[in-house]
Structure 1
Amino acid sequence: MFRAARHLGSLARIGWHLARHDALFPLRNIVGLTPFLRVARWVRPPAEIVVGLREGQRLALALQQLGPSFIKLGQALSTRSDLIGEEVAADLSTLQDNIPAFPGSEAVAVIEAEMGVPLSQRFSRFEPVAVAAASVAQVHFATTTDGTEVAVKVLRPGVEQAFARDLDLLLWLAEQLERFQSMRRLKPVEVVGRLAESVSFEMDLRLEAAAAAELAQNFANDRDFRVPAVDWLRTSRRVLTTERIRGVPVGDRAALVAAGHDPKDIVSKAAGAFFAMVFRDGFFHADLHPGNLFVAADGAIVAVDFGIMGRLDRRHRFYLADMLLGFLTGNYRQVAEVHFDAGFVPASESIDAFTQACRSIGEPLMGQPLEKISVARLLSQLFQITRTFKMETQPQLLMLQKTMVLAEGLGRLLDPTVNMWALSRPLVEDWMAINRSGPARAMLTAGEALAGLERLPALMGDFERLLRQLSHGGLSLDPETVRAIRGSESGRNPMIWPLWIAALALAAMAIAQLVAATH
């Protein structure tokens, strides 16, 4: 009861704020709320600052002013164009963590508490004024005791408690919304759950450091894309220290040109890096807004802020490559077959009808100039029609779609005449030719079979234990069966031998596949 009363007070404040920004539209489909929305609009007329703005723009502005937790909520919703619509999702994707900085003295206190030593034992110089501030942390420039220039990211004091309080409110609200039939398709509890999962990851900067180190390792031999090195000695749960990078913000086109960089060349490098992250490695930076990318003096793109990362396993990478090439070549049957083969669309649905739906998305793109084609929009429309065909949500692909929206926006900002997906297409086709060839598929199948065989002894042991438990579990078994299950005095179970024979047969099949794949 106390929880509900507390949250109702907070909810009234939020509703008042949304009404001021004319951003109550997400609630208009709830039965019984229409009169309330009309009254709210009359009591609290929209402010002048939102006049002429689209719905998504008004909601983004309201969430930004509500504070850090609601900014994160908007960023999470920006990946769900299948639920809130393409235009609103695109507007929410512009949300940035532009939050006032906290005092440098508090940052020093956090660092000393985490390091267990005075600041001077780790840094010879520490700039008290933050150079960037977001909802979870802020960044200060410093110099280590060995003379290395670094960037120090420090969690906001009390940020864990603040997010926990707001997330509890959002979860309570989501639970109330799910009581309405019209809101269940939006899966509000699931959205808040994913938001909580993302925030908990960002609250431990050691995890971000590990993500940065993994991405750096993946691009160790790449001259066009770099990741700042992590200083592990000066990194902990609430502090992350990396080498300081120097460069021009990728979103400042005029400064890039003035520094002698070619925007088309930068787009090309960004496309190559994005392809490598998604297809080659299956591990990508999922927050590629202009504030997180810089261009170094040598022309390399340098990324920062690795709190939000995405992963794609090999199966999803194959799906994505097949689907994109199918759309770009007008082979809509291939697009449909990819979805059915991957199990994304139930076999009970009509593949012909799904092919027709895919054609409705792809045909408007045919004959269009490459710079007019948006792959992010294509994915968004695909996710919307798949709801009709009972396709389950694929979280990895939703995060990728959000990243594509940001990457496309970045490419068009640098050079509107260049399409970064057209630049990536030859790379995707080459990758497909190598990784989807007959020998490659055979090797993959053989590898999966051998991996399964490695798990067989453990499975056999589990099965044997299960049989022994059944023999003592009160089931009605005849004496001969019990003796067979117990086996000899040495503990060996003769009933297991047929299973081992089957395992050897599987091993022979896997070896045969492996031999065939190498010829």
Structure 2
Amino acid sequence: MIRTARNLSRLFQIARVLARHDALFPLEDVPALRELIGVARAVYRRPAEGRPGQRLARAFAELGPTFIKLGQALSTRPDLLGEEVAADLTYLQDKLQPFSFAEARAIIEGEFEQPLESLYSSFDETPVAAASIAQVHFAVTPDGRPVAVKVLRPGVEQQFRRDIALFYWLARLIERVQPHLRRLRPVDTIATFEESVNIEMDLRFEAAAAAEMSENFEGDETFRIPEIDWQRTSRSVMTQERITGISLDEREKIAAAGLDPVEVITRAANAFFNMVFRDGFFHADLHPGNLFVQADGVIVAVDFGITGRVDHETRRILGEMLLGFLTGNYRRVAEVHFEAGWVPADKSVDAFTQAARSIAEPIFGKPIQEISIARLLGQLFAVTETFSMETQPQLLLLQKSMLLAEGVGRVLAPEINMWELAQPLITDWMRSNLGPEARIKAAVVGTARSLEKLPSILVQAEQAARMISSEGLKLHPDTVREMARQGALTAGRRSLFPAWLPWALVVALLGILLSR
């Protein structure tokens, strides 16, 4: 009861801010909240400019770090708020007022238990960036290396814990009072959001993500990751190589530096494709502030607080979907969804094929530079209600990252479709993973694995046979009764052994094998 009262109090504070920005619409479909929303709208509503998504973005920015992150997460969910609102939330700026140098010093010295001056020979007191989770200062190490130092924002963890408890309460309330929304898995979505922000708030995880991706791109002469200074990295502080370069959305500066914007965006597209399909591990926050091009044309990515993973099976599914759309084989697109279990088996493959065609054909009728694969995925997910598809949390970050990457590409080279630039990589990957050779290889590997297991299976079968011969076949009383019933049904048939005996042996063997 106390928790409910606390959540309602906090919710009213939030509703007041939303009302001032005329952005209460996300809560309007929850019947249990209508009275609270009505009061907030009557007392606090002010005329506000802009589209609903723009008003909601401004409200989230005022509500602080957790809501900024929530808005960024919702930007991947056109199925929840609509495509226009989701698109507007992608422009939500993760910028806040910086906290003081004294607080930054206290955090760093508390983490390493030594004076700041012993860790860095110089340290800029004014941060170069201040975001919702942390801010960044430039510094120089005692051995003369220029570095960037990321420091966690004071009190952000406590604020996040308070808000995430409210989000879970709201998600459970929605699932209880709006059963038709359960397929959107609001509780699972909040869990995914919580996991993502938890990782962001431990800078050691970010450092590890950067190091892993650096290993994945080792030897790549077009894309790289800054080196981590592990001796000056902890839960609340991360030190890494300082990067100098031009942000990828500064087309004029890139051209003035003698670099070809098309070549730059080609390298970015190839890097993103390799992250997703080659490695299954991708940077999920690829906005222009996190991508730089150096004087030699090498692209450098920073800020690995948000990363995503795609397992091999999901990559195969996505590859088949992409191939089906690109070749106009909408039947195969539909079949892949059913094979993956993303669409219930009782739905119509033919109807889903028609839905896939209705989404893709208008898009592929546009000029190549206007085609958005990320938007295509978003529109495909929008048909989920008709076909009772459950939300796939593992794809939310991927969709967000694709939208951000495309946004960068359109600024840098608006006449080019960045996914077309990655066509050679796409073709090679599909040939290697979806073609006849790949299927033969998969079959050979599967057979080899089965053969590897055969000796242990034979040993276990032999043990089972000894157990049966020495102790007798032990069956559950219900099984014995069912066997007796079946025996009565076949009593008139002449047979060397009861009809049920082979099945009983199989059941017994499976029980023994599965219990080991």
TM-score (norm 1): 0.85
Measured on the aligned residues, the alpha-carbon RMSD in Å equals 3.1
Q: Which residue of 2 aligns with 1:25?
A: 25
Aligned residues: 480
Q: Deviations for 1:443-475, whole angstroms, at most 9, x for unmatched residues?
A: 23443455566678999999999999x99xxxx
Task: Please say if residues 212 and 227 of structure 1, whose CA atoms lie closer than 8 Å, have aligned partners that are also in contact.
Answer: yes
Q: In structure 2, do the counterparts of structure 1 residues 175 and 402 end up closer, same or farther at CA, with 3 Å as the change threshold?
A: same
Q: Which of 112, 115, 135 is equivalent to 1:115?
A: 112
Asked whether the equivalents of residues 327 and 335 of structure 1 are also in contact (C-alpha less than 8 Å), the reply is yes
Which residue, out of 250, 271, 274, partners 1:273? Answer: 271
Farther off after superposition, 395-404 or 437-446: 437-446
For residues 365 and 336 of structure 2, the distance between their equivalents in structure 1, rounded to whole angstroms, comes to 24
Secondary structure in structure 1 of the residue aligned to 2:125: coil
- Equivalent residue, structure 2, for 1:490: none
CA apart distance, 1:32: 6.7
Q: Deviations over 1:15-61 (max 9, x none)?
A: 111011111111222347667655543432324xx32x111111111
- Residue 69 of structure 1 is matched in structure 2 by 66
Shift of 1:293: 0.8
- Specify whether residues 377 and 35 from structure 1 end up closer, same or farther in structure 2 by C-alpha distance, changes over 3 A only: same
Structure 1 distance, partners of 2:385, 2:446, is 31
Candidates 379, 386, 394, aligned match of 2:377? 379
Look up the match of 1:148: 145
CA 1:84/1:439 → structure 2, altered by over 3 Å: closer, same or farther?
Answer: same
Matched residue type, 1:12: F
Matched residue, 2:351: 353
Per-residue CA shift, 1:244-263, capped at 9, x if unaligned?
01011112223223333322
2:472 aligned residue (460, 470, 480): 480
2:238 counterpart SS class: strand
Closer/same/farther in 2, CA of residues 392 and 449 from structure 1, 3 Å limit? farther
Indicate conservation of the 8 Å contact 2:246/2:294, yes or no: yes
Q: Indicate how the Cα distance of structure 1 residues 250 and 461 shifts in structure 2: closer, same or farther if over 3 A, else same.
A: farther
The structural deviation recorded for 1:328 is: 2.2
Shift of 1:287: 0.4
1:379-409 alpha-carbon deviations (Å, 9 max, x no partner): 0111111332233322222211111111111
Q: 2:307 aligns with which of 289, 306, 309?
A: 309
Relative to structure 1, the CA distance from residue 4 to residue 347 in structure 2 (aligned partners, 3 Å threshold; closer, same or farther) is closer
> Partner amino acid for 1:275?
F
- Kept in 2, the 8 Å contact 1:29–1:183? The answer is no
More displaced stretch, 428-437 vs 66-75: 428-437
Alignment check: 8 A CA contact 2:431 2:438 kept: no
Note the C-alpha offset of 1:282. Answer: 1.2
Offset from partner CA, 1:404-448 (integer Å, 9 cap, x none): 111111111112111101112232112111222333223234434
**2:495 — aligned with what?**
none
Distance in 2 (alpha carbons) for counterparts of 1:372 and 1:267: 16
Indicate conservation of the 8 Å contact 1:60/1:91, yes or no.
Answer: yes
Q: Is the deviation greater in 385-394 or in 410-419?
A: 385-394
CA distances 1:138-194 after superposition (whole Å, capped 9, x unpaired): 111111111111111111222222211221222223333333226545433222222
Q: Percentage identity across aligned positions?
A: 57
Query: In the alignment, which of 430, 444, 447 is matched to residue 445 of structure 2?
Result: 447
Checking the alignment, whether the CA contact within 8 Å between 2:330 and 2:357 is kept in structure 1 is yes
Counterparts of 2:459 and 2:17, CA distance in 1: 61
Gaps of 5+ in 2: 475-504
Distance 1:82 1:466 in 2: 52
TM-score (norm 2): 0.85
Q: Secondary structure, in 3 states, of the residue corresponding to 2:195?
A: helix
Q: Is contact 2:364–2:371 with CA below 8 Å preserved after alignment?
A: no
- Superposed displacement of residue 273, structure 1: 0.9
- 2: CA distance between counterparts of 1:454 and 1:66? 57
Q: Secondary structure at the match of 1:140?
A: strand
The CA distance in 1 between the partners of 2:288 and 2:164, in whole Å, is: 28
User: What amino acid maps onto 1:480 in structure 2?
Assistant: G
What code does the residue aligned with 1:435 have? N
2:58, 2:461 → 1: CA distance? 58
The answer to whether 1:138 aligns with 2:135 is: yes
